[in-house]
Amino acid sequence: MFSIPIDRTLPRMPQLITSLPGPRARALIERDRAVTSPSYTRSYPLVAARGEGCVIEDVDGNVFLDLTAGIAVTATGHAHPLVVEAIQQQAARLLHMSGTDFYYEPMVELAESLAARAPFPQSGEDTRARVFFTNSGAESIEGALKLARYYTGRSRVVSFLGGFHGRTYGAMSLTGSKTVQRQGFGPLLPGITHIPYGTHSSLDDLEEKLFPTVLPPEEVAEIIVEPIQGEGGYIVPEEGFLERIRQICDRHQILMIVDEVQSGMGRTGKLFALAHWGIVPDIITLAKGIASGLPLGAILSRPELMTWPPGSHATTFGGNPVACAAANTTLRLLEAGLMDNARQMGEELQAGLTQLTRRFERVSLPRGKGLMVAIDFLDADGNLDWDLRDRIVDQAFYRGLLLLGCGKAAIRFCPPLVIESDQIQVALKILAELLEKI
């Protein structure tokens, strides 16, 4: 069902035919440099022209194995033929009508599908989850924050150091990732307390030190948490951490918002990563993989929370019909085998990376779930070594392998969920050869 196009035109493995960057790539990068924002962070000179499954062809005809999925987005692989077909058919029928003011079927269908799969207590028609569609992860976070404040009548928020939630003002204020992301942009949203991620001792401090002194829990609207921290380094929390947040929220009538923008939509082998822990949140935020590359996000909430009246929150483009059509097909493909593939391939990837740690002491053991996996790079004394990480990411490109960093000194592996065993083995081989040279 989810296999790569039958009329495949690109090789499935890296194939470099020019020196890198090639002449067309160099010319495009020159043009780009003159007119685009210097805030972009391109670390190596990939100029993408075409994608298919797990490979990207650049403008000079070089083919790369893509373990980035365009920052964990192209869940069904690049240009999955069924997704492309759904997009083409919908585009020919209706490109836009704004779902906040009008109705159309692809949006209703997607809302029904997401509501049916949301992990909230549901026992009938009127207890089904509610969905608000957005264009991006940051917009989902903004909307979720507004909803939490509106519903609770409270204003404060607890979020986590290392957490990443986006670049708009609310989302940036919740983010606790890197100073460069906030320096010079203040004042940010007030009332946000960042605490360390993933450990019970952090939650001990919240309950025993912060709540009784500077952060009255009855003023806290939400605790927002990534089930596996994404940009922060693909950090899996300690056992019981997420469950305990749920308990703290229950104790103080705080809403638990789970940011599944990166970890959701099947990437970890389950539709929502929080299903690994059986957590029942109040609100879930989605984006990235939901529409296989078209801009779409969603806020899922327990039905009783969406009490905001007509006109209180809306968006022109959110829930665009073409993006919803892509998402409806994406969801079908995820459930027809891609989530299983993510689980299996993730295990193979982690097993291969574990082997690497036996040969090379400069890498840590892998962590993560499904195809959300990372390793840290270490110096000779065992400290995190971001220079080495940056060098490996860079050199991998020149070997035809596309990788992305995250955290302080980690490489994240977040390939399209269609990746196959031989492609994982080739990626591991390239990585081993690069480590060999150090």
DSSP symbols for 250-263? HHHT-EEEEE-TTT
Q: Which of residues 144 and 378 has its CB atom nearest to ligand PLP in the complex?
A: 144
Asked if 287 touches ligand PLP (CB under 6 A), the answer is yes
Q: Which of residues 231 and 282 has its CB atom nearest to ligand PLP in the complex?
A: 231
Residues in 302-361 that interact with ligand PLP by CB under 6 A? none
Among 68, 136, 268, 328, binds ligand PLP (CB under 6 A): 136
405 in helix, strand or coil?
A: strand
Asked if 259 touches ligand PLP (CB under 6 A), the answer is yes
Q: List the structure tokens of 202.
A: 């952090």
Asked if 262 touches ligand PLP (CB under 6 A), the answer is yes
Amino acid at 230: G
Query: What's the closest the beta carbon of residue 386 comes to ligand PLP, in angstroms?
Result: 19
Query: What's the closest the beta carbon of residue 167 comes to ligand PLP, in angstroms?
Result: 6
Burial level of 207, CB count in 10 A (0-12/13-18/19+)?
middle
Q: List the structure tokens of 16.
A: 């470099």
CA 98 to chain CA centroid, Å, is 25
Query: What's the closest the beta carbon of residue 381 comes to ligand PLP, in angstroms?
Result: 31
Q: List the structure tokens of 117.
A: 């799969």
240 Ramachandran zone, left/alpha/beta (phi>0; psi -120 to 50): left
Task: Tell me if 411 sits within 8 A of 375, measured CB to CB.
Answer: yes
Residues in 84-123 that interact with ligand PLP by CB under 6 A? none
Among 261, 298, 326, 428, binds ligand PLP (CB under 6 A): 261
Asked if 70 touches ligand PLP (CB under 6 A), the answer is no
Asked if 376 touches ligand PLP (CB under 6 A), the answer is no
Q: Which of residues 42 and 251 has its CB atom nearest to ligand PLP in the complex?
A: 42
Asked if 142 touches ligand PLP (CB under 6 A), the answer is no
* Radius of gyration, alpha carbons of the chain: 22
H-assigned helices in 118-186: 137-152, 169-174
Q: Give the closest residue to 254 by CA, choosing from 287, 225, 213.
A: 225
Q: Contact region for ligand PLP (CB under 6 A) — 107-115, 130-138, 181-189, 402-410?
A: 130-138
Q: How many residues bind ligand PLP (CB under 6 A)?
A: 14
Among 164, 197, 211, 413, binds ligand PLP (CB under 6 A): 164
Quote the CA–CA distance of 298 and 285 in Å, as a whole number. Answer: 6
Q: List the beta strands (DSSP E) in 178-234.
A: 192-195, 220-225
Query: What's the closest the beta carbon of residue 383 comes to ligand PLP, in angstroms?
Result: 26
Query: What's the closest the beta carbon of residue 412 comes to ligand PLP, in angstroms?
Result: 10
CA 315 to chain CA centroid, Å, is 22
Residues in 198-227 that interact with ligand PLP by CB under 6 A? 226
Residue ranges binding ligand PLP (CB under 6 A): 136-138, 141, 164-166, 226, 230-231, 259, 261-262, 287
